[in-house]
Amino acid sequence: MEPQPAATTSPRRRQPVEPVLMETSEVAAMLSMSTSWVYREASKLGLKGYKLGRGRNAKVLYKRAEVFTWLEQQKIH
């Protein structure tokens, strides 16, 4: 029995990783609200932002799980 050449064996493929954090614009789009609304209301709603970087251009990110948990709590029925 001959060994198979390295080119014919398939390398392990990595499973795609779901992102843990969402950008403010993603949260706004998901909620059909503006980004300014998210910045203004998030802390009032109990959504904690995580600021990455310094100054005006720092990104504020939110945990995806917390956003979905908050959204589930908003059900009317």
Q: What is the pLDDT of residue 77?
A: 75
Which structure tokens are listed for 18?
């779901």
Mean pLDDT for the stretch of residues 51-67: 91
pTM: 0.70
Helix, strand, coil percentages in the chain from 3-state DSSP, rounded to 5: 40, 15, 45
Please give the distance of CA 70 from its chain centroid, rounded to a whole number: 14
Q: Specify whether the CB–CB gap between 52 and 58 falls below 8 A.
A: yes
Q: What is the pLDDT of residue 2?
A: 60
